[in-house]
């Protein structure tokens, strides 16, 4: 997969590309991430990429020309062009899974008061990382690139990725490591039993419990099997009886 990121702050991405999983994915060539300076594509002799908005208003607006130029230079029939924007679809795990199947993604980082609305003619979608406003699209671009890259086959152990929170629409079950006892808190006995079937049943139950307590909204979106439905009703009753 190739991910092209368009920004006016290319140095912002240096630590991101040199750290942890992203660095390893790049070294093993599971993904190629290119950072492009938007200013290199402007026809303005002063490398200016913003101007005042028509109709008045506060702040500066990013101009369409350099975006159109860089998109035209990079886009192929396989490309997905994404503008990072608070007006976009909220990034979700299903969306990350979908994007991880693509071969080429172009991420556009807005700034200032946004981008000239004619950008809509050149993009495939807008993505938001949450219902709040940041100073630019650089942090969202890193989040999207990270969420996608970790799902590319080979980057993570498949078992690890499949057990992640939200991968199946539910939150992840609680996990423990050594020591077995710490300040009066103990690891659940079932995890020490060596009984794999019981452990899997406990984890399934705890996924449902965690989701019900922390993110009940997710349960409205996921299709549960009969066993999970029975577990969930039992958990609801337990919580009610407390």
Domain map (residue ranges) of the chain: 2-158, 181-241
Pick the catalytic residue from 4, 50, 138, 150: 150
Beta pairing class for 185-186 and 181-182: antiparallel
Residue 150 bears catalytic tag: yes
CATH topology for 2-158 is Alpha/beta knot (3.40.1280)
Contacts of 187 (CB under 8 A, 6+ apart): 176, 180, 181
* Domain 181-241, CATH among 1.25.40.10, 3.40.50.460, 1.20.1250.20, 1.10.1270.20: 1.10.1270.20
Pick the catalytic residue from 10, 39, 68, 113: 113
Pick the catalytic residue from 53, 164, 174, 203: 164
Closest CA to 207 of 159, 171, 177: 171
CA 34, CA 51: separation in Å to the nearest integer?
27
The predicted pLDDT at position 168 comes to 83
The predicted pLDDT at position 58 comes to 85
The predicted pLDDT at position 165 comes to 60
Contacts of 38 (CB under 8 A, 6+ apart): 6, 7, 8, 49, 66, 67, 70, 109
Q: Is the peptide bond before 179 cis (omega within 30 degrees of 0)?
A: yes
The predicted pLDDT at position 166 comes to 73
The predicted pLDDT at position 136 comes to 95
Kindly tell me if the per-residue pLDDT of 161 is higher than 70. no
Residue 89 bears catalytic tag: no
Reported as a single tens digit per residue, the pLDDT across 81-94 is: 999 999 999 999 99
The answer, as to whether pTM is greater than 0.85, is yes
CA 46, CA 122: separation in Å to the nearest integer?
25
Reported as a single tens digit per residue, the pLDDT across 41-69 is: 999 999 999 999 999 888 899 999 999 99
Residue 113 bears catalytic tag: yes
Q: Which helix (H) or strand (E) element contains residue 146?
A: helix 138-149
The pLDDT of 165-180, averaged and rounded, is: 88
Pick the catalytic residue from 4, 66, 86, 138: 86
Helix 226-241 and helix 196-214, axial crossing angle in degrees, nearest 10? 60
């Amino acid at each position: 997969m190739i991910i092209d990121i368009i920004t006016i702050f290319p140095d912002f991405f240096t630590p991101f590309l040199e750290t942890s999983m992203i660095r390893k994915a790049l070294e093993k060539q599971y993904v190629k991430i290119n950072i492009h300076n938007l200013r290199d594509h402007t026809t303005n002799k002063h490398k200016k990429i913003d101007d005042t908005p028509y109709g008045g208003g506060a702040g500066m607006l990013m101009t369409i020309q350099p975006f159109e130029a860089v998109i035209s230079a990079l886009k192929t029939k396989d490309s997905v062009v994404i503008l990072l924007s608070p007006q976009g679809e909220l990034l979700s795990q299903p969306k990350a899974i979908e994007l991880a199947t693509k071969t080429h993604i172009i991420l556009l980082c807005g700034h200032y008061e946004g981008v000239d609305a004619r950008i809509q003619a050149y993009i495939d979608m807008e993505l938001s990382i949450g219902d709040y406003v940041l100073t630019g699209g650089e942090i969202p671009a890193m989040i999207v690139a990270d969420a996608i890259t970790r799902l590319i086959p080979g980057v993570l152990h498949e078992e690890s990725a499949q057990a992640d929170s939200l991968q199946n629409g539910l939150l992840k079950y609680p996990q423990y490591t050594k020591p077995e006892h710490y300040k009066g808190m103990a690891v659940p006995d079932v995890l020490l039993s060596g009984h794999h079937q019981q452990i899997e049943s406990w984890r399934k139950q705890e996924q449902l419990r965690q989701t019900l307590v922390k993110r009940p909204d997710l349960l409205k979106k996921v299709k549960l099997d009969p066993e999970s439905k029975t577990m969930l009703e039992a958990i609801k009753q337990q919580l009610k009886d407390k």
